[in-house]
């Protein structure tokens, strides 16, 4: 595979941007080699600057559940452009977006649009602290909630692969109130509540942890969190930046039947544009400025072009529940195919996943939390990753990222990827 253009761009990029990128995991640091510079994307494919095509299993890290550049989303964006890019004033589109989300997810009574998942989480935590008058927060090791200071404690995603336990530049005071618990381990949460019964403002959790690979909540885990939060007067926040509108049209609530107090969104709700949101109970959201005392603002928040893209994608998802059956069945086939291959070749691997989120871990042991995810053999993943990339399947360049499948993928794509994986494990 010829990648000369990407190589040249990467060497220019490295002179000008840290690691040559604007977000760490894109730099291929944990797998080595040259990141592909992407020229365009359509449906299930990415095309790099050398003209190579890849079946894309990243989907911009989640937003592209309908595949890249669906014509009807593109048409809506073209149409919106003629009216202007930003006004810094209220629009009908924001009302439509708020109506759509609160209709699709009924426990979301009020919502605030922001520009990224990081901002959504940071703001939801502020609202939770403002509402409860408490400072401490509980997060889980290996869950990623964006890069706000308070959240960079045992975080997943790029922080996990880079091997940075924490980030430098975060004052100790900023994380002093961030408590870490073990995913899928209710006792670890109970201990924190017993230690600080009246100080914990909220528990924030990815209802499916999708930033340490993919770790599915054990039966009763989310329910246990709900009960503990109720008992100790803390709020439960679902960080649905990945799972929102991906597991089902109403996200994790529909899937697991547990209702949080607040929820954060990102990725899918922007349809590929930079959008985030947080929302939930009216009595909590009424505390947000200008109604209440929790300050939060944004120059470009609710940007009209971004709203139009997001609304168009969400409307489609609402009207086409079969999208979820489709991505689930493609992913189920991917997982069962990979499971067959690793069994047949006695590979020390484990397949995790739910819905359209999957992960192939290079460890034979079950992966249920951060510690077990960390057992994965990074060097083995690296080899597999490059083999698959060279054969045209583009996975997240890290052991600890999810495989995302879109509605534009076909069973043929999945079978092609499985057949390459079969070649890899059989040593062809
Ligand atoms: C991606 C992600 C974030 C951060 O979103 P950005 O838009 O990258 O700031 C937060 N939480 C979860 C669960 C995520 O996957």
> Over the stretch 185-206, which tens digit does the pLDDT of each residue have?
999 999 999 999 999 999 999 9
pLDDT in tens, 95-125: 999 999 999 999 999 999 999 999 999 999 9
Q: Tell me if domain 4-69+321-426 and domain 71-319 are identical in fold.
A: no
Q: What is the mean pLDDT of the chain?
A: 96
pLDDT in tens, 365-401: 999 999 999 999 999 999 999 999 999 999 999 999 9
Q: How far is the CA of 164 from the centre of ligand 1 (A)?
A: 18
DSSP percent split of the chain into helix, strand, coil, nearest 5: 40, 15, 40
Question: Does residue 79 have an active-site annotation?
Answer: no
Closest CA to 411 of 326, 354, 324, 330: 330
Q: What is the pLDDT of residue 163?
A: 45
Residue 165 has pLDDT above 70, yes or no: no
E strand segments, 57-134: 110-114
Quick one: tokens of 115?
A: 């520009």
Could you tell me if the CB of 211 is within 6 A of ligand 1?
yes
Architecture of domain 71-319: 3-Layer(aba) Sandwich (3.40)
CATH 3.90.1150.10 assigned to 4-69+321-426: yes
Could you tell me if the CB of 406 is within 6 A of ligand 1?
no
Dist. CA 392–CA 248, nearest whole Å: 29
What is the H or E stretch that residue 394 is in? strand 393-394
Question: Does residue 83 have an active-site annotation?
Answer: no
**At 341, phi and psi to the nearest 5?**
-65, -45
Q: Domains of the chain: which residue ranges?
A: 4-69+321-426, 71-319
How many C-beta atoms lie closer than 10 Å to residue 239's C-beta?
A: 32
Measured from the Cα of 243, ligand 1's closest atom is 13
Instruction: Assess contact for 52 and 7: CB atoms under 8 A.
Output: no
Return the residue whose CA atom lies nearest to atom 5 of ligand 1: 117
Instruction: Assess contact for 80 and 305: CB atoms under 8 A.
Output: yes
Q: What is the DSSP letter of 106?
A: T
pLDDT in tens, 129-159: 999 999 999 999 999 999 999 999 887 666 6
List the catalytic residue out of 45, 54, 144, 265: 144
**Exposed e or buried b for every residue in 343-352, given b needs 16+ CB within 10 A?**
eeeebebbbb
Instruction: Choose the residue to mutate in 121, 153, 241 for probing ligand 1, maximizing ligand atoms within 8 Å of C-beta.
Output: 241
pLDDT in tens, 18-73: 999 999 999 999 999 999 999 999 999 999 999 999 999 999 999 999 999 999 99
Q: How far is the CA of 155 from the centre of ligand 1 (A)?
A: 11
Q: What is the pLDDT of residue 155?
A: 74
Quick one: tokens of 75?
A: 């048409």
Q: How far is CA 335 from CA 90, 102, 256, 349, 355, in A?
A: 45, 33, 21, 12, 10
pLDDT in tens, 234-288: 999 999 999 999 999 998 988 999 999 999 999 999 999 999 999 999 999 999 9
Q: How far is CA 378 from CA 130, 229, 271, 321, in A?
A: 41, 36, 32, 37
Q: What is the DSSP letter of 216?
A: P
Angle between helices 71-81 and 304-319 (to 10 degrees): 150
Q: How far is the CA of 117 from the centre of ligand 1 (A)?
A: 4
Instruction: Assess contact for 274 and 117: CB atoms under 8 A.
Output: no
Dist. CA 199–CA 362, nearest whole Å: 39
Closest CA to 233 of 199, 278, 271, 184: 199
Dist. CA 195–CA 272, nearest whole Å: 42
Return the residue whose CA atom lies nearest to atom 8 of ligand 1: 117
Dist. CA 428–CA 425, nearest whole Å: 8
Q: What is the pLDDT of residue 160?
A: 60
Residue range 300-310: average pLDDT? 98
**At 55, phi and psi to the nearest 5?**
-75, 120
List the catalytic residue out of 154, 183, 267, 424: 267
Residue range 396-413: average pLDDT? 98
Instruction: Assess contact for 421 and 345: CB atoms under 8 A.
Output: no
Dist. CA 269–CA 53, nearest whole Å: 27
Cβ contacts of residue 133 below 8 Å, gap of 6+? Answer: none
């Amino acid at each position: 595979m010829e990648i000369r253009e990407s190589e040249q761009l990467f060497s220019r990029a490295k002179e000008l941007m840290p690691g040559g990128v604007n977000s760490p995991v894109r730099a291929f640091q944990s797998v080595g080699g040259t990141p592909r510079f992407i020229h365009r994307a359509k449906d299930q494919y990415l095309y790099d600057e050398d003209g190579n095509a890849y079946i894309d299993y990243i989907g911009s890290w989640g937003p592209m559940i309908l595949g890249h550049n669906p014509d009807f989303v593109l048409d809506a964006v073209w149409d919106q452009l003629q009216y202007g890019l930003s006004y810094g004033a209220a629009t009908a589109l924001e009302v439509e977006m708020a109506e759509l989300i609160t209709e699709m997810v009924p426990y979301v009574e009020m919502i605030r649009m922001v520009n990224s998942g990081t901002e959504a989480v940071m703001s939801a935590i502020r609202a939770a602290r403002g509402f409860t008058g408490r400072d401490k927060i509980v997060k889980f090791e290996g869950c990623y909630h964006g890069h706000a200071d308070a959240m960079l404690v045992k975080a997943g995603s790029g922080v996990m692969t880079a091997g940075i336990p924490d980030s430098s530049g975060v004052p100790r005071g900023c994380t002093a109130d961030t408590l870490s618990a073990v995913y899928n381990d209710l006792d670890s949460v109970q201990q924190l509540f017993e230690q600080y019964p009246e100080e914990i403002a909220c528990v924030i959790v990815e209802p499916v942890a999708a930033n340490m690979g993919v770790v599915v909540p054990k039966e009763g885990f989310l329910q246990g969190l709900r009960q503990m939060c109720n008992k100790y007067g803390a709020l439960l926040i679902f960080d649905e930046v990945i799972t929102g509108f991906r597991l089902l049209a109403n996200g994790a609530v529909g899937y697991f039947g547990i209702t949080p107090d607040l929820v954060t969104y990102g990725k899918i709700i922007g349809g590929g544009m930079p959008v985030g949101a947080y929302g939930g109970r009216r009595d909590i959201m009424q505390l947000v400025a200008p109604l209440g005392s929790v300050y939060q603002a944004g120059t470009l928040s609710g940007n009209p072009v971004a709203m139009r893209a997001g609304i168009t994608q969400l409307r489609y998802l609402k009207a086409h529940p079969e999208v979820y059956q489709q991505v689930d069945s493609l992913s189920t086939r991917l997982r069962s195919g990979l499971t067959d291959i690793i069994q047949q070749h006695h590979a020390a691997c484990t397949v995790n996943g739910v819905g359209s989120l999957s992960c192939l871990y290079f460890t034979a042991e079950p992966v249920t939390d951060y510690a077990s995810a960390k057992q994965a053999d990074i060097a083995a993943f690296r080899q597999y990753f490059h083999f698959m990339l060279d054969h045209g399947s583009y996975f997240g360049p890290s052991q600890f990222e999810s495989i995302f499948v879109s509605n534009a993928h076909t069973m043929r794509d999945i079978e092609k990827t499985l057949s390459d994986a079969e070649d890899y494990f059989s040593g062809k």
